[in-house]
Amino acid sequence: MRPNILHIFTDQQRFDTIAALGNSIIRTPHLDRLVQSGVTFTNAYTPSPVCVAARCSMIHGLYPVATGCLANDTMPSNLPSLMDLLADAGYDTHGIGKCHFTPDPLAARGFSSREVQEEFPVGTLEQNSYLKFLVDHDHADAYEAHGVRSSMYYIPQPSRLDREHHPSQWIGSRSVAYIQKNQGSPKPWYLFSSFVHPHPPFTPPVPFHSLYEAKKMPVPNIPEHWEELQMFVNRMQNRYKYRDNGFDLNLVRCIKAYYYACISFVDFQIGRILDALEQTGQMANTLIVFCSDHGELLGDYRCFGKRSMHDASARIPLLLCAPDMIERGMCCDLPVSLIDLLPTFLEAAGQTSIPKIDGVSLFETLSGKSQRRYVYSMYSCYQDKDYAQVSDIPPEYAGMEKEALGTYMITDGNWKFIHSMPDNKSFLFDHSADPHETRNLDGMPAFSATKANLKHELVTYLRSSGLGCILDGDDFKAFPRVEIPKDPDAGLLVQDIQAPWFDKKIEKYTD
């Protein structure tokens, strides 16, 4: 019998936020259950450390250079998605929660059905399953259901909603309802349970907001020469996220406490979902994958957000639990990527005809059949430069701005090589000796051979993928360095939520 597929997805969750994998502070008993009953991929990376590009690569099994989506950009419309392929294989494909599809956030993209919860209101109220739920339960004023953004993007804030109406609780409840509904169904199903959290703003509900004390949270990873470890994308993102005008360790520890609380509340929902599988007798025939789109810097290197190729941002948690798995609780340290989920799911579904993709089935990796040595990640700042009001782009970037404002990474799980085009600078990290990436070995002669090999592999891959415009022979072109504006108020992001049914006028003040 072909297995059901439960795909649990979080947004912006770091790889190091699961108790069973060594985090002694966070509480994740239900993720721990998955660790103990399946396989942990300890060197899993996102193909692009930002929401849309990561999801686009995941559903198509292709790296961003193949999809053309290297940022929160437009997804292609001419490629089959993993949902399309599973539907063609006879699966009921159902999506619950954040999909972040572009340009149409309400698109099906292969889902037989969707229950929509996005960060911003889209379409009509009837098309927004979660927001309609709030209105139907007397929460019409909750137009910022995911928290207040803009200047409060990284200000911890207890949710204005109680537990029962919180976005994460709704995902859990709807997932449980779907699993119960499909008990005994002769048709296999694919369920995408996708949580917005722990994406900022960090808004856990009461009493989860008090689960962690800020004073007990560890300080971020700030090496002695932290400025030398920052990249253009870090400096730019710090600016428009309101985080480059002073650094407060007490605030950062409070941010981390609320971030952990968001993860724990998602973990609570995962427990409800796993219990529903067991109670309906479907656990033994369900393939479960848990992962995230990318991580979160949380003050490391005095930086916040994602988009960076540091491990805190580019490395992700990835857990696999399969029916009849013989060895449980094992760890695999081979490099894997989100692009590997499409072939993994199709193999589980018994499909032998798979379109040409970049991904490799996780089962093939586990069996030793895969000969792949490296995974890649890439991101372009070409959109973010507008957010941060970076207008002084050198003329050398003309005609190739998207490619030339990119950051490109290759890793074998042990060594990592990064090149930041806007900085005209490379980075080399040795994870065996320096797991927290505190020393850039790029300029050290003792590691020149390792750097040369990784750089050659990355340049070869980029050239074969059509990015020869940023290359000069076997090297990267030396573009002029790009800087963010010196004015600390230039480029502060504005993301006020506007819900069509909510009137923000204040009587006698704004009318």
Is 475's pLDDT higher than 90?
yes
Separation CA 43–CA 416 (nearest Å):
11
Does one domain contain both 436 and 288? no
Does one domain contain both 358 and 436? no
Q: For residue 491, what pLDDT is reported?
A: 87
Q: Is residue 438 part of a domain?
A: yes
Does one domain contain both 209 and 119? yes
77: Cα separation from own chain's centroid: 21
Percent of the chain, pLDDT > 90? 84
Q: For residue 499, what pLDDT is reported?
A: 65
Separation CA 401–CA 147 (nearest Å):
33
Task: From 357, 376, 395, give the residue that closes a domain.
Answer: 376
Does one domain contain both 416 and 269? no
Q: Is residue 485 part of a domain?
A: no
Does one domain contain both 352 and 391? no
Bond prior to 201 in cis (omega within 30° of 0): yes
Number of domains in the chain: 2
Separation CA 212–CA 260 (nearest Å):
8
Task: From 331, 351, 376, give the residue that closes a domain.
Answer: 376
pTM score, whole prediction: 0.96
Q: For residue 180, what pLDDT is reported?
A: 98
Does one domain contain both 203 and 295? yes
Residue 406 contacts residue 68 (beta carbons within 8 Å): no
Q: Is residue 33 part of a domain?
A: yes
| CATH number of the CATH domain containing 387 | 3.30.1120.10
Q: What is the pLDDT of residues 24-59, one digit of tens each?
A: 999 999 999 999 999 999 999 999 999 999 999 999
Does one domain contain both 415 and 316? no
Q: Is residue 123 part of a domain?
A: yes
Q: For residue 120, what pLDDT is reported?
A: 86
3-class state of residue 116 by DSSP: strand
Does one domain contain both 275 and 396? no
Separation CA 314–CA 311 (nearest Å):
5
- Give the residue with greater pLDDT, 511 vs 79: 79
Rounded mean pLDDT, 382-387: 84
Query: DSSP states of 370-400 as a string?
Result: -----EEEEEE-TTHHHHTT-----GGGTT-
Rounded mean pLDDT, 113-123: 91
Task: From 376, 391, 412, give the residue that closes a domain.
Answer: 376
Is 443's pLDDT higher than 70?
yes
The pLDDT confidence band at residue 263, using thresholds 50, 70 and 90, is: very high
The pLDDT confidence band at residue 446, using thresholds 50, 70 and 90, is: very high
Q: Which residues contact 98 (CB under 8 A, 6 or more apart)?
A: 11, 117, 118, 119, 194, 195, 196
Does one domain contain both 226 and 299? yes
B/e letters for 442-452, b = 16+ CB within 10 Å, e = fewer, are beeeeeeebbe
Does one domain contain both 93 and 140? yes
Q: Is residue 507 part of a domain?
A: no
Q: In angstroms, how far is the first alpha carbon of the chain from the final one?
A: 63
Q: Is residue 49 part of a domain?
A: yes
Separation CA 67–CA 50 (nearest Å):
14
Query: DSSP states of 321-366 as a string?
Result: E-TT-SS-SEEE-S-EEGGGHHHHHHHHTT-----S-S---HHHHH
Extract the tokens encoding 502. Answer: 């909510």
Q: What is the pLDDT of residues 51-74, one digit of tens each?
A: 999 999 999 999 999 999 999 999
Does one domain contain both 371 and 422? no
Q: Which domain holds residue 383?
A: 379-476
Q: For residue 502, what pLDDT is reported?
A: 64
Q: For residue 66, what pLDDT is reported?
A: 96
Does one domain contain both 356 and 340? yes
| CATH number of the CATH domain containing 177 | 3.40.720.10
Rounded mean pLDDT, 192-220: 97
Q: Which residues contact 304 (CB under 8 A, 6 or more apart)?
A: 154, 237, 238, 241, 243, 296, 297, 298
